[in-house]
């Protein structure tokens, strides 16, 4: 039986992987899961506790109630949640809990989808090492900071370019230096530095890669 298509997109904060994954999902009718939102969802549960401590049994319970709709909650993108997500993501137990959900969605997307595209930090290396297509998207720190700063400005969030840049720098450090599932490209990933591309040209490049891969795999799309 032909398999459903699975695409992994990894990269550092604000590299544009989310936007790209959304576009790919739309074009190829795939379920899109922004795995960062799962970490943010758990971070939000931690944030709500009095002492901001991780309570694993409680997190398990809230994970049981998780829905894709809940991941769209705007609060998940706020600064305190972002900070907690970045810190709790180094915990082995947290990653294990979230791996299950990611697997479930990637391998069994609802019927209306022809496959799945997951974006994050460890999708190609740990979550879906057998993904049919793996992309690793980067961009320089300055470019990523400027993109994120403009997004914040557009949504009315008050901040400064330097603050955004320092936050991203810190998150990069934590993501690349943690002992497990650290941010790195899978050996078979296609690397793309989007510093000098806009979203449209980055999409065109990635789309070419996907089309080429699809020709050679036994997957439906």
Q: Which residues bind to ligand C5P, rule: CB under 6 A?
A: 13, 35-36, 39-40, 85-86, 89, 120-122, 171, 175
Please identify which residue in the block is written with the tokens 């080429």: 212
Closer CB to ligand C5P, 13 or 164, in the complex: 13
If DSSP codes are grouped into helix, strand and coil, which group holds residue 118? strand
Q: Least separation, in Å, of the C-beta of 108 and ligand C5P?
A: 19
Q: How far is the CB of 220 from ligand C5P (least distance, A)?
A: 25
5 vs 119 by CB, closer to ligand C5P: 119
177: helix, coil or strand? helix
- Closer by beta carbon to ligand C5P, 40 or else 134: 40
Q: Smallest distance from the beta carbon of 146 to ligand C5P, in angstroms?
A: 16
Helices and strands in the chain: count of H runs, count of E runs: 8, 6
Considering only CA atoms, give the Rg of the chain: 17
- Tell me the DSSP string of 147-163: HHHHHHHHTT----HHH
> Could you give the dihedral angle defined by the CA atoms of residues 200, 206, 211 and 212, in that order, rounded to the nearest 10 degrees?
140
Shortest Å, Cβ 29 to ligand C5P? 23
Q: Which is nearer to ligand C5P, 11 or 115 (CB)?
A: 11
């Amino acid at each position: 039986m032909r398999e459903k298509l699975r695409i992994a997109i990894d990269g550092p904060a604000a590299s544009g992987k989310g936007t790209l994954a959304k576009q790919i999902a739309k074009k190829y009718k795939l379920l899109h899961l922004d795995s960062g939102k799962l970490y943010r969802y758990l971070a939000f549960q931690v944030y709500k506790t009095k002492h901001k401590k991780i309570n694993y049994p409680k997190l398990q319970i809230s994970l049981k109630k998780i829905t894709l709709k809940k991941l769209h909650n705007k609060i998940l993108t706020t600064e305190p949640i972002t900070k907690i997500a970045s810190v709790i993501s180094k915990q082995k137990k947290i990653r294990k809990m979230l791996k299950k959900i990611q697997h479930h969605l990637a391998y069994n997307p609802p019927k209306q989808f022809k496959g799945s595209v997951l974006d994050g930090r460890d999708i190609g290396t740990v979550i879906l090492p057998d993904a049919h297509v793996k992309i690793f998207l980067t961009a320089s720190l300055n470019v990523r900071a400027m993109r994120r700063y403009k997004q914040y400005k557009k949504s009315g969030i008050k901040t400064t370019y330097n603050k955004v840049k320092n936050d991203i720098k810190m998150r990069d450090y934590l993501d690349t230096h943690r002992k497990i599932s650290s941010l790195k490209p899978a050996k078979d990933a296609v690397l793309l530095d989007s510093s000098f591309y806009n979203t449209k040209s980055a999409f065109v490049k990635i789309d070419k890669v996907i089309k080429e891969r699809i020709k050679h795999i036994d997957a439906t799309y």
